[in-house]
Structure 1
Amino acid sequence: MVDLLIIADDFTGALDTGVQFAARGAATSVITDPAFDFAGVDAGVRVLVLDAETRHLAPERAYALVRQAAARALDAGIRCIYKKTDSALRGNVGAELAAALDAAGADRMPFVPAFPKIRRITRDGIHFIDGVPVAQSVFGQDPFDPVRHSRVSEILGEQTAAPVIRRKAGDPGNDLPGIQVFDAASDEDLAAIGRQLGAAGVRLSAGCAGFAAVVADLLALEGAPPQIPELHAPFFVVCGSVNPVTIRQLDAAEQAGFPRHRLLPEEKLLPEWLDSAACAAAVQDLLASAKQEGRCILDSNDPPENSAAARDFAAGRGMDIEEVRIRISGTMGGVMKRLLDSGLEATLMCSGGDTLLALMRAVDVAELIPVCELDTGVVLTYFVYRGKTHPIIAKSGGFGEPDLLCRLEERICTGADRKAPPHQSH
């Protein structure tokens, strides 16, 4: 029986949170259907992660989807709800926390947004990225979901009238009704918050992957270690993220010899290109490059010497930024399907939740099984398409050091991932 439902706002977030439980041996499934029948979950699944895809929606729509999902889960007998939020606080955080509260009929919910392992902390109610208040970081410049405030109460207050209570571990006197935002600057802080709340206190809770690891320990959701699929070259990286963190990783990999293929504006923004002879030729070129070099990058970003090419192309055809986002991710998913249909057998990697979801939709797969983390926030999972199991590495655009792709390639080539790495308590 399912013990916990995690509701995430994007695909990579669903995976990096779900894997905290999968790595401990709790059977975990990530689904993409908001209308999923919670009463019909496969026997043995203890943690269900729903990618509600609400990050880019209007707040009212995000509220409705999260409230409906949480209410249906509770009606189906799922006893715990974890509202997963973006670790940089993008998206409809206030609306979605309010939705979870209302669905449960609760008057308070602990919210721990910090993820110290990737240098995202909350101090005095302000959220920091690499020591910089989040609104002043790269996430304040996000072209799709810019974070306008750094104080968590101000972010939440834009979308909910629920009281916001600032808390620290060890301040039981401030246990007041509302969304209780906990400061945390280290894994030790997260663990202390968990000890203070106890298992009963996290049955309705919220945060990112950092605190999810604490929740997994508190709820004792453990089991046999997961089986690790074999990872083989070529290593094929698909990037639909515009985050500077990911771009630095691609640049470092290219400098290390990864072939890097960038889509032109007309290729990534015109859907008819997918059915053209030019696309078919491009797919063959990508297959040949991956086979010959053992590694390959397919990148949706424009080159630095012509960084406005896609923007200018879109503007000339009356496309707004949301249409650009949807078209680019759809093209990336379509190209990957054509590669798989043409015989690509590789260890895949998707950077960016939109890109990963587009691939899953293109191959008509609605479920992924998270296995383990290969690096913080870098999740190994797999899917089955046309009878073949395809390992895929998923990563949010804002995670990881510049040399990440090079280190992952080394692990793939040396077969270092024959067993799951031991989990570490946060």
Structure 2
Amino acid sequence: MAELTVAIVADDLTGAMDAAAPFARRSARTSVVIALEHLADVIAQGNLPDVLAINTESRHLPAEQAARRVAEAFESLLPFAPHILFKKVDSTLRGNVVAECLAARRSSGRGLLVCPAVPAQGRTLRDGQIHVHGEPLAASDYGRDARSAPPAEPLAVLFARQGLDIPVMREGGAGEAPDVIADAVDDADLQRLARALLESPQRWLAVGAAGLTEALAGCLFPAGFASASTIPPLENLLIAVGSRCDLARRQVARLCEACPGFSIIHAMENDMARHGPARQQLIIPERRSSTRFTAEQVARGMAYCVQALLEEKSGQAYMLFLTGGDTAMAVMARLSVRQVELAGEWAPGVAWGWLDGDRHRPVMTKAGGFGDEALLMRLGQASTTRG
């Protein structure tokens, strides 16, 4: 039976994509299965990649149901003897972090090594507590998440509440305890942690986000590196921003200011008929931010618009850029996608690849809160220049 180098189980699609992307960027064969229900079909195709990530789409489920889906994912992957088992969690602890980690721990029989820090995106772990750009998580924008507000307590308290006492390591490395929460305030901390993981890979179930997978990828695949020049041309670009977080709104504003040629479609206002013929299209939920629609309604509306535009432009190759995990999942489900063959990253936190491996169907994804304010502007300017 084929063996996997790395198996990643994530609770949402953009998380699976950005956690796997560092391996693809270093030329490891990498695939993301967009939903647990497609895993058996993907495995049946044979020719497993070096790195396989699975989206359990469990972030917003009840905790018990989320735990069952995570356990099923790990039980499906264990027969392929992954060298590294990785439970991807949200870097701001949204979702069922503890319930899913405990289910993964039971299924794998390994101890937890927990470090969800992504210093490159301003997320650090100090004394077992997440900080975002130096601010405690509860006081940040993410503490007001519309659908899945994160907990305010340190990780050790959250695990202890569910019966598992985990010490916090503040000196780097993994320590001797059976389960560990490891502080990380910079990339050097993550690199030390990655080396500790690789010294005893069968001992640990790594728990973290793209920061830790970046460090692991550098250790496992040090020679390969795919340059940004391999990204397909951006003459035709369709950006769908379903995330309603503050950063995503600022990114959209900078894009619109710098690239006035974009045709803007408001998915929740039924104005599809008013969009222009531009090669650069931007889909956002509404003209003004509101809470009239639930996250699920916005995701469905965004997916409908994306599908309608792609069908209208059948025969033209479009780079599809999806922001927000709910939107990315809804779009891919509506397009009947089973997996994404990853090629790498356009920018930190921006994964890209091909829908079902089709080189005529490129896609980029980004979590709503990732990137700087000018990220979409740079993408739009690259598209305008090439067009």
Assess same fold via TM > 0.5. yes
1:415–1:372 distance in 2 versus 1, CA, 3 Å: farther
Distance apart, 1:129 and its partner CA: 0.5
2:296 to 326, 333, 346: 326
Q: Does 1:375 align with 2:360?
A: no
1:340–1:7 distance in 2 versus 1, CA, 3 Å: same
SS of residue in 2 equivalent to 1:242: coil
Distance apart, 1:190 and its partner CA: 0.8
Distance apart, 1:157 and its partner CA: 4.2
Distance apart, 1:330 and its partner CA: 1.4
Q: Deviations over 1:188-216 (max 9, x none)?
A: 11112223343424752110010012222
1:171–1:215 distance in 2 versus 1, CA, 3 Å: closer
1:41–1:167 distance in 2 versus 1, CA, 3 Å: farther
Match of 1:111 in 2: 114
Contact 1:26/1:222 (CA < 8 Å) preserved in 2? no
Distance apart, 1:300 and its partner CA: 0.9
Q: What residue identity is the alignment partner of 1:142?
A: D
Q: Does 1:290 align with 2:275?
A: no
1:222–1:101 distance in 2 versus 1, CA, 3 Å: farther
Contact 1:330/1:355 (CA < 8 Å) preserved in 2? yes
Match of 2:288 in 1: 303
Q: TM-score, normalised by structure 1?
A: 0.81
1:259-408 aligned at under 5 Å gives the runs 259-264=263-268, 267=269, 282-286=271-275, 288-291=276-279, 295-304=280-289, 307-308=290-291, 310=292, 324-343=294-313, 345=316, 346-383=318-355, 389-408=360-379
Contact 1:194/1:215 (CA < 8 Å) preserved in 2? yes
Match of 1:30 in 2: 32
Distance apart, 1:165 and its partner CA: 1.5
Distance apart, 1:149 and its partner CA: 0.9
State the alpha-carbon separation in 2 of the partners of residues 216 and 99 from structure 1: 25
1:213–1:131 distance in 2 versus 1, CA, 3 Å: same
Q: What residue identity is the alignment partner of 2:329?
A: L
1:290–1:96 distance in 2 versus 1, CA, 3 Å: same
Distance apart, 1:232 and its partner CA: 2.5
State the alpha-carbon separation in 2 of the partners of residues 343 and 263 from structure 1: 17
Match of 1:195 in 2: 195
1:28–1:138 distance in 2 versus 1, CA, 3 Å: same
SS of residue in 2 equivalent to 1:296: strand
Match of 1:208 in 2: 209
Match of 1:50 in 2: 54
Match of 2:186 in 1: 186
Match of 1:420 in 2: none
SS of residue in 2 equivalent to 1:146: coil
SS of residue in 1 equivalent to 2:198: helix
1:137–1:156 distance in 2 versus 1, CA, 3 Å: farther
Match of 1:230 in 2: 232
State the alpha-carbon separation in 2 of the partners of residues 146 and 60 from structure 1: 18
SS of residue in 2 equivalent to 1:380: strand
Contact 2:349/2:370 (CA < 8 Å) preserved in 1? yes
Contact 2:142/2:150 (CA < 8 Å) preserved in 1? yes
Q: What residue identity is the alignment partner of 1:22?
A: A
Distance apart, 1:342 and its partner CA: 0.9
Q: Identical aligned pairs, as a percentage?
A: 27
State the alpha-carbon separation in 2 of the partners of residues 134 and 224 from structure 1: 33
Distance apart, 1:73 and its partner CA: 1.2
Distance apart, 1:263 and its partner CA: 3.4
Unaligned runs of 5+ in 1: 268-278, 312-323, 417-426
Match of 1:423 in 2: none
Match of 2:246 in 1: 244
SS of residue in 2 equivalent to 1:298: strand
Match of 1:152 in 2: 155
State the alpha-carbon separation in 2 of the partners of residues 164 and 342 from structure 1: 54
SS of residue in 1 equivalent to 2:67: helix
Q: Does 1:85 align with 2:57?
A: no
Contact 2:173/2:182 (CA < 8 Å) preserved in 1? no
SS of residue in 2 equivalent to 1:350: strand
Match of 2:381 in 1: 410
Match of 2:20 in 1: 18
Q: Deviations over 1:354-378 (max 9, x none)?
A: 1111111111111111212111101
1:388–1:362 distance in 2 versus 1, CA, 3 Å: farther
Contact 2:60/2:95 (CA < 8 Å) preserved in 1? yes
Match of 1:137 in 2: 140
State the alpha-carbon separation in 1 of the partners of residues 309 and 234 from structure 2: 17
Contact 1:112/1:184 (CA < 8 Å) preserved in 2? yes
Q: Does 1:64 align with 2:34?
A: no
Distance apart, 1:74 and its partner CA: 0.9
Match of 1:422 in 2: none
SS of residue in 1 equivalent to 2:361: strand
State the alpha-carbon separation in 2 of the partners of residues 13 and 28 from structure 1: 14
Q: What residue identity is the alignment partner of 2:230?
A: I
Aligned residue pairs: how many? 377
Structure number with greater Rg is 1
State the alpha-carbon separation in 1 of the partners of residues 177 and 109 from structure 2: 16
Q: What residue identity is the alignment partner of 1:113?
A: P
State the alpha-carbon separation in 2 of the partners of residues 8 and 144 from structure 1: 18
Distance apart, 1:382 and its partner CA: 2.0
